[in-house]
Each structure stands twice: as structure tokens, then as C-alpha cells.
Structure 1
Amino acid sequence: MISTDRGTPNARMRAAPWFIGGLAVGVAYVLIMGISTVQIAAARGGVVVDLRNEVVEVGSPSTPILQWFVSAVLGVLTFYAIVLHPRRRDVVVRVAAAGGFVVAALALSAWSLAIDDDAASEAVSAGTALGWKGWIQEGGTNAAVHLMIGLAILAIMRALADRSEAVKADPWDSTEPGSARTGPA
């Protein structure tokens, strides 16, 4: 049965590591997708860039199969970490994991728009800011990141709907303060 003890200190303590984990996954996902996006654009343009997003070699354009593969695998692992892995846990844990991811990814996506305006002063020829700012700039505007944010929001909505159904199914089994239970168990 799905636990509905979202208001208790114990539930909040169980959810805290999952929220922090969701934040970490969100930051890592946006940054790695940013690195991958920069590398993909560079390979298709016929240049090799280092991790500071500076051109280190010019050659012929190539197909960035490895970078596409890394992006796909990263998306699957991220989906597993924020949606599939916590699916058998309490509602608060499911919401915390996906919520942490959404907070981090949305914050970095919003920041990427600000970096986009400031990048002109320090941009390389490709128009990408140098270093980690370029990773946030590219990762935050990546459609795959936006899709994952949407999937995480859907996972949150599903978890909350499951909680609502559990409370409606058996209101006497709720451990929330103010529930229908009136007396010792």
C-alpha cells in the first residue's frame, strides 16, 4: 500500500536525500548534455574542441556517433534515476527525487538564457561561452533536457495521483494529521 505520511518529520527526512540526489542528477544531466552538445556541433563543423570549448584542431566534418550514443545512454540513465528507480517507494520519495531534478534542471535552463546574452563578449567562433558556462548554455537550451523536465513533472503528477487514490480507497488507513482515524489503532 502507498504510504500517505507526507507531513511527518520521518517522511521529510526520508525524502531529503532523494531530493538532494535529484538535484545532483539534474545538474549532472544538464552539464553533460551541454558538453555533448558542444562536442556534437564541433564535430559536425569539422573542429575539435577541448573542455573549455576552445578550438584545438581543425579538420573535416564528421558524424559524432559516440557523442550521440553518450547523449542517448545518459537520457536513459537519468530517466531511470528520477522516475523508474523510486517508483516503488513512498509518494514523498518519488516526488522528492523528480522534484529535485526539476528544480535543478529548470534553474540551469533559466540561467542558460542569461548566459546566452552574455556569451557574445567571451564567445569563440561557434558562439558558445567558454568552459562550464558554455556547458550550461548548451545544456540548458537542449531539447532533450526540456523533455526530461517534462517527464519528471509527469512523474510527480502520477505520484500525487497515486497518493490521492490511496487516500480515497481507504481513508481509515491514513497516518496524516487530521485523518479520519480517531482513536488508537
Structure 2
Amino acid sequence: MKVVGLDLSLTSTGVAVVWAAPRAGHLAQVDRIRTSPAGDTYPARWSRLRDIVDEAMAWVSDDTDLVVLEGLAYASKSPHATERAGLWWMLAHRLLVNDHRLAVVTPSARAKYATGSGAAGKDTVLAAVVRRYVDVDVTGNDEADALVLAAMGARALGRPIDELPKNHLDAMAKVAWPEGLAQPCPAGITTESKD
């Protein structure tokens, strides 16, 4: 099983990949795709978005079972909100036309899965991720968010990489899972832990 989590950003897109095999445990890797403005013209801005999409797609291979993408933050007041939305749709389009299964997680569902609270801030999520996934070298918010997305995808595929209290797992029901994942939180994998 291979799941890719992507937390899109114009400057630092978080990427996480989780591999799991029956009885062999799991392996996770995180990274960032860093870019900076290439100019204010529309062709330059489009080129930057295309480059981010190309780099993100380099992490998605034919054997990828699921890509989990953080949804748009509709309440964002950023002056770059339209570019972020364009980036999101460019990547979603590329994934779908290449027949990759795509799940979309809202920012609040991502925070709830990580911390138990949908209102948790980025630094609270980062702290929870660093404590929970001790074998993964997470160095920033973008990587932490991407790892949470990938962990949610692994759980949806029946290969959880974490043990979480029920209130964290309630986030799974708030995800737009692709067809074929009718039971996003399979029975028997919910475990209670103190977190």
C-alpha cells in the first residue's frame, strides 16, 4: 500500500508518503516542495503553479493507492487565495485525469485527526505529529499536515499507522473519500490511547 498526502502551498508544499505491507509494518517519509515567486505576469504565475504540480506528481506513482489532498480554506483572506485555488484545481485535475484515487480532507478534519480538536492551530498540530510519529523526521507545519493526511489515507485503506482516541477518529467521517472506500474507518482498528 502506498498513500501520498499533500498540503499545498505556494511557497512550501508539504509531502508525505506512507508505505505499508501486511505484517511488515510501515514506513513514512516527508519532504517539502519549495518555490518562490517567478514574476507578476500571468504566464510567470501559471508557470510557478505548473512547477509545483509537476513536483507533487513526481511523488505519485502508478502503484499509489490513494492521494489525500487538503481541501481549500474557504475563509482565507490571503491576497493569493485565487492562486492557491488554481494550484489546488490544477493538481486535482492532473490526479483525476491520470486515474489516481483522490480523497479531500478539510483543514478542520485534518486538525481534529491530529489533535482531537478541529480548531487546533498549525503549531499544535505540529507538536502532536512530532510526539506521535517519532520515527519520522518532521521539521515543519507543512510536513506535519501532509503526514496527517497520509495517515488518514492509510487508515481509510485499513492499514493505520497510529493509535488514536475515538474523538480524533471522528474526523474520518468528515472526509470526501473516493468511491470504493465506503467504510473509511474499518471496524476493529479504533484503539484508545492517551494523547
TM score, norm. by length of structure 1: 0.25
Greater Cα radius of gyration, structure 1 or 2: 1
Q: Answer 1 or 2: which has greater helix percent.
A: 1
Higher RCO (Cα < 8 Å, 6 or more apart): 1
